Amino acid sequence: MVQLGSNVGRTALTWRHVDLAMLAAFLPGVVLGALAAAWLLVRLPGGVLELCIATFVLFTCWGPGLPQRALGRGGVLVAGAVTTLLSSLVGASGPMVAAFIKQSQFGRLAKVATFSACMLLQHLTKAFVFGVAGFVFRDWLPLMLVMVSAGFLGTWLGLRLLHRLSDHRFDTLFKWALTLLALRLLWLGGQRLLGH
């Protein structure tokens, strides 16, 4: 819910830069991924999903890039479904969505705005799935409100900094942030796989 609140704030502050065509293609995938997560009975061994996500993120940051077809409407739908499913199982889809958005959007504001809108959709469906599963949000409401408010303040400050960065500088920082997140996922996945 805190991530949902943060992405609502970020999307609200950058809505003019959201790629609506990409969002429209991403939404059906999000719904399919959430439905699959709600009914999924078989899970991979602990750690495998994290390793797969980390590998994808590192490939999109340092590899030759995704083929143009993968960035089209069908590819965006599949990305929405797969990342939402993974998000519901391991809660680590943000780096994967960011890596996908990084290759499909041009300009730092479009990347941040479209990423935030896509994550907003994912977190909204996750909130619905967990609510149906019995999570009582009301019990956590005061803490969530404080955290969402702090997240909005962080978003506002971050966007002020973003406006001062060049696209090149942003892309470099974004690439390294994704790389560090992927390396962390590799570490966590390896630990879980080895049973530590």
Are 114 and 80 contacting, i.e. CB atoms less than 8 angstroms apart?
no
Tell me how far apart the alpha carbons of residues 79 and 71 are, in angstroms, rounded to a whole number.
Answer: 9
pLDDT at 98: 84
pLDDT at 152: 92
Structure tokens, 126: 């996750």
pLDDT at 110: 92
Per-residue pLDDT of 40-80, as tens digits, reads 644 556 677 778 778 878 887 888 776 777 667 788 888 88
pLDDT at 44: 59
* C-alpha separations of 55 from 5, 28, 99, 118, 154 in Å: 28, 25, 11, 21, 29
Tell me how far apart the alpha carbons of residues 66 and 169 are, in angstroms, rounded to a whole number.
Answer: 22
Residue 60 neighbours by CB distance under 10 Å: 23
Q: Which of 117, 81, 86 is nearest to 4 (CA)?
A: 117
Tell me how far apart the alpha carbons of residues 128 and 137 are, in angstroms, rounded to a whole number.
Answer: 11
List, for the chain, all residue ranges whose pLDDT scores fall below the cut of 50: 41-42
Question: What does the domain layout of the chain look like in residue ranges?
Answer: 2-194
